[in-house]
Amino acid sequence: MTQLLATTLPEHSSDGYVAAAYIVFFAIVLIYVAIMAVRLGRVERKVEELRGEATKSDIPPARARGIADLDESNPNPALPDKGQEHALEGVPHGGGRSEGHRQAGRPL
């Protein structure tokens, strides 16, 4: 890639190196942002699924509100209550592809 940059960029090789360094850095940042965007899409899909399940099943309003709190447009998200905080304790940061199944986790 550096050879390609060296042939397409201005004559002085130092310009090519500077351009390569800055391009590499911003490429890393853009790749990271793209990965985050993909994960966000996955989370949003999951939220929609949960919302659908919540409306279908006979869940009390408090529970449904809890799921609705994941809605980003909700200006007043409620903090998890005590029961849900305990539920958080069992969830590893990097763990599990499926809910409720604890396994040696992959990185989030």
Partner 1 sequence: MRRPSLRALSIATILALCVSLSLVFFYAPIEVEEGFLQKIFYLHVPLAIVTLCGFVIGGLCAIAHLRTRDQRWDLRSYVFIHMSLIFGVAVLITGSIWARGSWGHWWVWSEPTLVSFLIVMLLYATYQPLRFAIEDPERQARYASVFAITAGAFVPMNFLAVRLSASYLHPRVLGSSSNLPAPMALTFLASIVAIALLFATLCAYELAAKRTRILLKARSRILGYQS
- Provide the binding-site residues for partner 1, judged by CB under 8 A: 2, 12-15, 17-18, 20-22, 24-25, 28-29, 32, 36, 39-40, 43, 46-47, 50, 53-54, 57, 59, 63, 66-67, 70, 72, 77, 80, 83-84, 87-96, 99-100, 102-108
Please identify, using beta-carbon distances, which residue of 61 and 107 lies nearer to partner 1.
107
Q: Side chain identity at 79, as an amino acid letter? A: L
Please identify, using beta-carbon distances, which residue of 4 and 36 lies nearer to partner 1.
36
In angstroms, the Cα distances linking 36 to 19, 30, 40, 48, 94 are: 26, 10, 6, 18, 15
Task: Write the burial class of residue 25 (CB in 10 Å: 0-12 exposed, 13-18 middle, 19+ buried).
Answer: exposed
